[in-house]
């Protein structure tokens, strides 16, 4: 575990514990002197053997580690990757006498938080760079914790949704089995709609859970666009009637996609087209323009208020 991040938004915090990794002991002494003069009550340790840096970090709670790039046993970027793999929230600053942009880019991709040219290490640059590195890691850690909390909430929400949806589908199917079609054909139709709607909702919860919780791309398959539009029409039947609207469709193509997400997108477009429309009879048209097998353009048009040009 890393030490608590002690950082204010306006200045570098006091009582920092820093580690300098450099194969040149004179450079360690010089950097330590500058850091000691620039930061209040700072404690600076030095390691001249980069292969011993991880052991030092494991033994002490450092607020930031400054690493030289050009070291014979292990270059700074490689060492930074090793440290980052074990300590994801430890601020790392690369010190280099070589100012190549590609080197800096490699360092940042490798897990470094910031960098500072050796010939520009001063009281001011040390305060600015170390403070920025510590604050960046603090923000990164906060964002990750919030993401994990949101993921846990979304998982619980998806789990809680699926049980009542399943119950609705099961009881609707049981009622359909027990109800003779000739006795009440209208009730049979309504129950069929209810069962189909619950299945679509289950599919949507599943694909959203897969996308948001597992960070996986939604599964794609060959989708009948006409069937997707039919499900959208069924979902919005009451809304369309309330708006006195019309949904026209000429969509017979097939395309690779995710049926649940495609239905959600089209449903949102239809709702917006009917809602933001001042016509007495708002109209939305969905049509397809097939380009090749598995590919097509889906064109959604309406005569609503549109978006104002700026």
Domain boundaries, the chain: 17-121, 148-216, 218-310
pLDDT, mean over the chain: 83
CATH architecture of the domain with range 17-121? 3-Layer(aba) Sandwich (3.40)
CA angle 118, 134, 107 (to 5 degrees): 50
Residue 2 pLDDT exceeds 60: no
Calculate Rg over the CA atoms of the chain.
30
With the C-alpha atoms ordered 190, 170, 265, 224, is the resulting torsion angle positive or negative?
negative
Are the C-beta atoms of residues 270 and 247 closer than 8 Å to each other?
yes
| pLDDT 10s digits, 220-276 | 888 899 989 988 888 888 889 999 999 999 888 888 888 888 888 999 999 999 999
Backbone angles phi, psi at 129, to 5 degrees: -70, -45
Among 2-6, 36-40, 194-198, the range with the most confident prediction by mean pLDDT is 36-40
pTM: 0.55
CATH architecture of the domain with range 218-310? 2-Layer Sandwich (3.30)
Mean pLDDT, range 48-66, rounded to an integer:
95
Q: Give the Cα separation of 181 and 178 in Å (integer).
A: 9
Please list the alpha-helical segments (H only) found in the chain.
25-38, 53-59, 76-86, 101-109, 123-178, 185-213, 225-235, 237-242, 259-275
| pLDDT 10s digits, 206-215 | 766 666 655 6
Residue 27 pLDDT exceeds 80: yes
Q: What is the pLDDT of residue 10?
A: 37
Phi-psi region of 86 (alpha: psi -120 to 50; beta: other; left: phi over 0): alpha
- Write the burial class of residue 199 (CB in 10 Å: 0-12 exposed, 13-18 middle, 19+ buried): middle
| pLDDT 10s digits, 130-176 | 999 999 999 999 988 888 887 777 777 776 777 777 777 777 777 87
Q: What is the pLDDT of residue 81?
A: 94
Q: Which is nearest to 45 in space by CA: 17, 24, 78, 25?
A: 17
């Amino acid at each position: 575990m890393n030490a608590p991040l002690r950082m204010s938004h306006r200045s570098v915090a006091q009582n920092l514990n820093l580690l300098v990794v450099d194969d040149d002991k004179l450079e360690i002494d010089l950097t330590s002197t500058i850091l000691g003069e620039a930061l209040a009550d700072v404690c600076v340790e030095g390691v001249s053997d980069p292969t011993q840096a991880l052991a030092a970090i494991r033994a002490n709670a450092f607020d930031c580690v400054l690493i030289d790039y050009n070291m014979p046993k292990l270059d700074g970027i490689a060492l930074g990757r090793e440290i980052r793999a074990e300590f994801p929230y430890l601020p790392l600053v690369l010190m280099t006498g070589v100012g190549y942009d590609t080197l800096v880019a490699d360092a940042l991709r490798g897990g470094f938080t910031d960098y500072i040219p050796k010939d520009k290490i001063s009281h001011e640059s040390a305060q600015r760079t170390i403070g920025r590195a510590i604050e960046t890691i603090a923000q990164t850690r906060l964002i990750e914790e919030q993401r994990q909390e949101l993921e846990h909430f979304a998982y619980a929400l998806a789990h809680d949704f699926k049980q009542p949806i399943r119950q609705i589908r099961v009881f609707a199917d049981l009622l359909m089995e027990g109800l003779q079609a000739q006795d009440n054909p209208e009730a049979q139709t309504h129950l069929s709609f209810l069962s189909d709607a619950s299945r679509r909702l289950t599919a949507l919860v599943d694909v959203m859970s897969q996308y948001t919780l597992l960070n996986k791309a939604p599964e794609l398959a060959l989708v009948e666009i006409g069937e997707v539009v039919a499900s959208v029409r069924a979902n919005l039947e009451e809304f369309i009637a309330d708006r006195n609207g019309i949904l026209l469709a000429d969509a017979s193509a097939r395309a690779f996609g995710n049926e649940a997400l495609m239905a959600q997108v089209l449903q949102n477009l239809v709702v917006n087209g009917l809602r933001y429309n001042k016509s007495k009879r708002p109209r939305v048209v969905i049509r397809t323009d097939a380009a090749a097998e598995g590919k097509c353009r889906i064109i959604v048009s309406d005569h609503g208020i549109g978006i104002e040009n700026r």
